[in-house]
Chains A and B, each alone.
Chain A
Amino acid sequence: VSAEPGRPPVSAAERKMWTTWVRERAVGSLPPEKLLPDRQPSYVSSWIYVFGVAAISSLIVVVLSGVILGLKGPEWWHVSSVGHFFNSIHLWAVELFFFTMVVHLWGKFFMGAWRGGRGGTWVTGAVTFLVAIGAAFTGYLSQQNFDSQWIASEGKDGLNSVGIGAFFNVADFGQMYTFHVILLPVAVSALVIWHVLLVRRHGVVPPYPAKAKAAAASPPPPAPSEGAAP
């Protein structure tokens, strides 16, 4: 970030300010050209890379259609054809979100995408998947139709059996709806943002070493680290 014209360099006193510390940490970790790069390593050329951004796009459609449903209220999607239309968009966007996210996860697994200190990137992605399952589950419970009745009737046994049902009551529409429209979407969105920032910070994982014959022709590389730095 360019300094203000004519502004002197940051002083020692300013460096002790919390605001300065946060700004310099943020810009130091993710300078603009790293946050929004306009070029990528040459190996980033495969359709598998599309599924990450497709998952984010699906999440945006999920959230936008969900906001419309939330603004109109629960009755709307049952009694109005327009409401049912938006409810259907919400459903299919969720299906697309999970489809693209699962393909993205498998792709990253086969790439060993946690190599080179990228363990946190994998962890945030995997946790996003698990939290998204909770978000979808509470969505199915919030439908207020036979499907949601049955899912609540079945789901309560699993949650009660380990003591969770005493606090997370799947038959309580008010509680499930709050989880679905506020708490879990915020959690999923925050995790996705964190995940993307980690991707930008560490970059896209490079390929595994090529065959020995070709590798022998190249200078010996430093020993690659298989696992992720904690």
Chain B
Amino acid sequence: MNGRAPASPDPAAPWPGPFVRYDLVKELAVALGVVAGLAVVLTILFSSPDDPPTTLQSWAQAAPADFVATSLTELNGTSEVAEYGPPYNHTPEATQKIGPLDLQSTPGVRIPIDTARDFVLEPLKTIPGSPRLQLAVAAYEAAPPARQEAWTSAYEKALEGARYRRGVVVVPAGPYGPVAPMMAALLGLAQSGGLDGDLLAGNHRFYQTNYTKPLLFLSGGEYFEERAEGQHLLGTQWGMMNETGSYPGQVWLWLYTFWYQIEPFLESPNADALIFALMAVLSLAFVCIPFIPGLKSLPRHLRVYRAIWRDHYREVES
């Protein structure tokens, strides 16, 4: 080093003070070695979580009552997905809004899902060697909506007293029409693993990488949510920034997740849209800090820079 550091350098001008040797390439090589070594050490010490996914099969086997109850809501169109709105279906007043702005409706229904048809009726039609079941499905489809609703309502009440023997749902005789054999068959199809395949590779497609339908079906049941709650993953538990097990997860999403924990977002039906908009504004402000009056001067007032450049200030102020 030679010369003396200026007390008040112009940040836009070339540095008029002394220079020191600085080997950037060596610094990068050493840092790369340290970081790679640290990643290996952390891997040896802590590995990583890889909890098996929930399948429709594991759900139907572990919680048949929840599966059947959820399937019934998919059939009669009262499930969360059935009443979701865009991009899955047209449901009046289902969308979230930012004031008068309804961005959810703007793209329209681009991932159409009819829960009765996609989750129940079409899969049942794939079961081979079941003429009585196919007659039941045909009878249900041919019935007017009021009759269908009467059947599903009666079956819904009957489920409150249903028993499950060896994974089979048993309800007392009642005015369920074809719904009882349909639900029993759907439960059996799910327990065999057939429903996972049907929803994943529907429409006779062999290659399939889109999990939308089975995931939406799963998300309607309590079993899926209870498993998430056990892994502290619910929205009220700081949600998806967490990871299964005791791992750091996506901690960088803390601010996004934070808003879900407080009012007015906690109880707002528009919480997702409002928080997304808020984070978009905050992100834009973060990017534009150098151009925002007041904010761009904040570091000068905070004076943390004096700790960062303490050697420099010690020299010029001595």
Would you call B39 and A93 a contact (CB within 8 A)? yes
Would you call B216 and A46 a contact (CB within 8 A)? no
Which residues of A have CB within 8 Å of B211?
149, 152, 171-173
What is the number of residues of chain A that contact chain B, defined by CB distance less than 8 Å? 109
- Contact of B276 with A by CB under 8 A: yes
Would you call B104 and A162 a contact (CB within 8 A)? yes
> Closest residue of chain B to A93, judged by CB?
B39
> Closest residue of chain A to B80, judged by CB?
A157
Residue B39 contacts which of A61, A110, A151, A218 (CB distance < 8 angstroms)? A61
- Which residues of chain B in 222-272 are interfacial with respect to chain A, using CB atoms and an 8 Å cutoff? 224, 227-228, 231, 233, 235, 239-240, 243-244, 247-248, 250-253, 270, 272
Residue B212 contacts which of A154, A171, A203, A225 (CB distance < 8 angstroms)? A171
Known interface pairs A133-B253, A153-B224; A56-B8 also in contact (CB < 8 Å): no
Q: How far is the CA of A126 from the CA of B287 in the complex (A)?
A: 5
As a 0/1 sequence over residues 275 to 287 of chain B, the CB contacts with chain A under 8 angstroms (1 = contact) are 1110000010011
Which residues of B have CB within 8 Å of A126?
286-287, 289
- Contact of A30 with B by CB under 8 A: no
As a 0/1 sequence over residues 104 to 132 of chain A, the CB contacts with chain B under 8 angstroms (1 = contact) are 00010111101111110011001100100
Residue B50 contacts which of A45, A78, A154, A222 (CB distance < 8 angstroms)? A78
As a 0/1 sequence over residues 123 to 158 of chain A, the CB contacts with chain B under 8 angstroms (1 = contact) are 100110010010011001001111111111111011
Say which one of A2-10, A20-28, A47-55, A181-189 lies at the interface with B.
A47-55
Would you call A93 and B15 a contact (CB within 8 A)? no
Would you call A218 and B11 a contact (CB within 8 A)? no
A173 to chain B, nearest CB (A): 5
- Contact of A16 with B by CB under 8 A: no
> Closest residue of chain A to B36, judged by CB?
A61
Q: How far is the CA of A162 from the CA of B19 in the complex (A)?
A: 51
Which residues of A have CB within 8 Å of B86?
160, 163, 166
Which residues of B have CB within 8 Å of A115?
11-12
Which residues of B have CB within 8 Å of A152?
211, 215
Would you call A87 and B8 a contact (CB within 8 A)? no
What is the number of residues of chain B that contact chain A, defined by CB distance less than 8 Å? 110
Say which one of B64-72, B118-126, B147-155, B294-302 lies at the interface with A.
B294-302
- Max count, chain A CB within 10 A of own CB: residue among B15, B96, B315: B15
- Max count, chain B CB within 10 A of own CB: residue among A112, A148, A160: A160
Would you call A84 and B48 a contact (CB within 8 A)? yes
Would you call A93 and B35 a contact (CB within 8 A)? yes
- Contact of B32 with A by CB under 8 A: yes
- Contact of A73 with B by CB under 8 A: no
Would you call B287 and A218 a contact (CB within 8 A)? no
Would you call A114 and B290 a contact (CB within 8 A)? yes
As a 0/1 sequence over residues 188 to 230 of chain A, the CB contacts with chain B under 8 angstroms (1 = contact) are 0000000000000001011111110111011001111111111
Residue A57 contacts which of B25, B32, B253 (CB distance < 8 angstroms)? B32
Would you call B300 and A226 a contact (CB within 8 A)? yes
- Contact of B10 with A by CB under 8 A: yes
Would you call A40 and B22 a contact (CB within 8 A)? yes
Q: How far is the CA of A228 from the CA of B291 in the complex (A)?
A: 7
Residue A136 contacts which of B84, B250, B290, B302 (CB distance < 8 angstroms)? B250
Which residues of B have CB within 8 Å of A173?
209-211
Q: Give 24 pairs: A residue, B residue, CB < 8 Å, sorted on A.
A: A42-B5, A43-B5, A43-B309, A43-B312, A53-B27, A60-B32, A89-B43, A96-B38, A102-B252, A122-B290, A130-B283, A143-B50, A145-B49, A147-B244, A149-B54, A149-B218, A160-B86, A173-B211, A206-B9, A206-B10, A215-B7, A217-B7, A218-B316, A228-B291
Which residues of chain A have a CB within 8 Å of any CB of chain B?
A: 36-46, 48, 50, 53-54, 56-58, 60-61, 65, 77-78, 84-85, 87-89, 91-93, 95-96, 98, 100, 102, 107, 109-112, 114-119, 122-123, 126-127, 130, 133, 136-137, 140, 143-155, 157-163, 165-167, 169, 171-175, 177, 203, 205-211, 213-215, 217-218, 221-230
Given A39-B21, A88-B46, A224-B9, 7 more A-B residue pairs with CB atoms under 8 Å apart are: A78-B50, A112-B297, A146-B231, A160-B86, A171-B210, A206-B11, A213-B317
> Which A-B residue pairs are the 5 nearest by beta carbons?
A116-B11, A174-B209, A114-B290, A209-B8, A166-B107
